[in-house]
A and B are shown apart, each in its own frame.
Chain A
Amino acid sequence: MARQPNKETLLDWYRQMVLIRRFEERCAELYQQGLIGGFLHLYIGPEATGVGAVAALREQDHVITAYRDHGIALARGLDVNRVMAEMLGKRTGVSGGKGGSMHLADRDLHMWGGYGIVGGHLPLAAGIALAAKYQGKDEVVVALMGDGSTNIGYFHESLNLSAVWDLPVVWLVENNQYGMGTAVGRASGAVEIVNKANAYCCGADGHGMLQGPRVDGMDVMAVYDAISEAAEHARKYGPVLVESLTYRLEGHSMGDPQRYRTKEEVESFQTKGPIGRFRALLSDKYKGVESALDRIDEEALKAVDDAVEFAKNSPDPTYDDLVSHVYVD
């Protein structure tokens, strides 16, 4: 059983989800103002998955994810100022403006990134897990990915590897129902993605991939419980595949006309949004908590305001930055 979170912890999850939501809304504005360039993939809708999954980990565990990484980075504790500065391509950003939105990372927090190539990060997770095992460390890797990446070869090689080598990895599929604009059922042979674990289950030694649950990814408590159990299994025995059913309330990236889904469908998910749901749960559970929640809302807004100020006032990278860090001397 997962550790039962206390009130303080639950309020902190609420804080993280609200911070992510406000951060992402502000990013959308800044994008429209031309202050954020390139491609921007918002984490509006799946907040509960990122926050619940990261909350289930220990400090020394590892997190790696795909390109929709802002929410995961903030949940893992990356500094909101430096993340915003990276969005604006500033010298003070988490990678000094080299990586931008899709490559947020922090070595000290064992947050190994954001990766721009879909699925390319999955076998890296296997390598991190192999090293942890060899070094005798009791560490787990949580590798997040979208539903689309479960159709590429990297996914299958990575699951296979983790199964034959009993690697401590939790493979967490964030199934938001569309790989960019292609519905899961049109791209994946298995519509219930978690069934893909069965192909790598039970090798000669009786070990292998454990098929984990399909969890309600809009419920932070459910995600926390599922990943806590999965991480415990991974630490003791080996890999687990968990599928989180979630939904992005915005387009794939900014400027997505969203012709692949109906307005009604999006609206139906808006009422099931993870933050409103969690707020209602907290209000129900703790009498008189609203004022604390309101304060968290205000603080999140202020943190994002401050982050934007920090980013705007930060210097641009220079030529020296461009040509630095190609090789370690």
Chain B
Amino acid sequence: MPDITLIDAIRQAMDEEMARDENVFITGEDVGPRGGVFRATMGLYDKYGPDRVIDSPLAELSIVAVGIGAALVGMRPICEIQFADYIYPAFNQIVNEAAYIYYRSNGEWNVPMVIRSPYGGGIGGGLYHSQSAEAFFAHRPGLKVVIPSNPYDAKGLLKSAVRDPNPVMFFEPKKGYRLIRGDVPEHDYTVPIGPANVSRKGTDVTVYAYGMMHYYTLQAAQMVADQDGIQCEVVDIRTLVPLDTETVLNSFKKTGKALIVYEDNRFLGYGAEIAAILSDEAFEYMDAPIRRLAGLDVPGVPFAHPMQDLFMPSPEKIASAIRDLAAY
């Protein structure tokens, strides 16, 4: 199996899905000849032409709305928003239209579409090129929310997202685009939307994470295993909505200690919901306070590197939080 980067896996998924189904098309800013701001669509314009790889005006709400309209009448759009930070002009279209269509029509029509967007900090992008937006969308029923942490899952989950009859928000950890590598089959396969993945077995502490923070968590888990003999179980959430509550609870019932890592702002972030579910449904298994390690509660990830580093969780910070919890 070839060892490829996260972004290559994403491109492969789109390429294969476009070859499989002529109703799949891509639209977004600079997705055409330029190949996308991060080169996610590189080569697809030449392969599939301007009718299927459509450069949009610089107008995010239109990118999403065109996808919704086209999906209503049988197309399978993949809408790219260049950075998650830019998604807010389309917020109404996503939460008030895409999420509502199946419900408001009482099951008569649906919108099979994918909205892809790179998210997250760590690349010095500053206030408007570093944001995590998943919590806003995870809050609205009707949307699915997926965040892959490795190339195998990215390809398999994106292919599932394209085939899903619902609107799927697909956030990609952009710091990992070329940093995270892995073995990816060249043949067609999918990873189902829904199940979480226990990516490391352990008995002492469960760490829940997704996207870039999952990559860091695996490093941290190795550090505390090597240095402290702490055996972490790591759960890669992968699908934020619908959440695999069973896998989340089962791991906690085994370890009794939970750390949830996410780089979005801590307050009302996605990890708060996992914490609430654990305390609601597995209170009697709890051996320590449920802890969250997350981005700080400032409006954005600042530009200067020292501040960015203070803002973001890192493998070292995760390891430290695991040690605290193990010792509780």
Give chain B's interface residues, CB within 8 Å of chain A: 25, 51, 56-57, 59, 61-62, 65-75, 77, 89, 92-93, 96-97, 102-110, 141-142, 144, 165-166, 242
Contacts and interface: CB of A to CB of B under 8 A. Distances in A.
B97 A107 contact: no
A27 B92 CA distance: 30
Contacts of B141: 326
Contact of A328 (B56, B70, B93, B166): B166
What are the 7 tightest A-B residue pairs by CB atom distance, in nearest-first order? A127-B69, A123-B65, A328-B165, A96-B106, A127-B66, A131-B70, A124-B69
Nearest to B63: A123
Given A129-B69, A132-B73, A324 B107 contact: yes
27 contacts: A62-B73, A95-B104, A95-B106, A96-B106, A105-B104, A107-B105, A107-B109, A117-B96, A117-B97, A120-B65, A120-B97, A123-B69, A124-B65, A126-B66, A126-B69, A127-B66, A128-B73, A131-B70, A153-B61, A153-B89, A154-B65, A158-B62, A160-B59, A160-B62, A325-B102, A326-B102, A327-B142
A130 B107 contact: no
A125 interface: yes
Contact of A103 (B25, B69, B104): B104
A134 B51 contact: yes
Contacts, number: 123
B69 A327 contact: no
Given A134-B25, A328-B166, A124 B72 contact: yes
B73 A131 contact: yes
A105 B97 CA distance: 14
A128 B69 CA distance: 4
Interface in A140-163: 153-154, 157-158, 160-161
Nearest to B52: A134
A113 B108 CA distance: 12
A326 B143 CA distance: 9
Given A127-B70, A131-B70, A134-B75, A105 B105 contact: yes
A324 to B, nearest CB: 7
A99 B69 contact: no
B61 A157 contact: yes
Contacts of B70: 127-128, 130-131, 134
B93 A120 contact: yes
Contacts of B106: 94-96, 98-99, 321, 324-325
Q: Pick the most buried of B65, B89, B108, B109: most chain A CB atoms within 10 A of its CB.
A: B65
A202 to B, nearest CB: 17
A117 B69 contact: no
A107 B108 contact: yes
Q: Pick the most buried of B104, B141, B144: most chain A CB atoms within 10 A of its CB.
A: B104
Contacts of B242: 327
B65 A126 contact: yes
Contacts of B109: 105, 107
B96 A120 contact: yes
Contacts of A99: 104-106
A164 interface: yes
A112 interface: yes
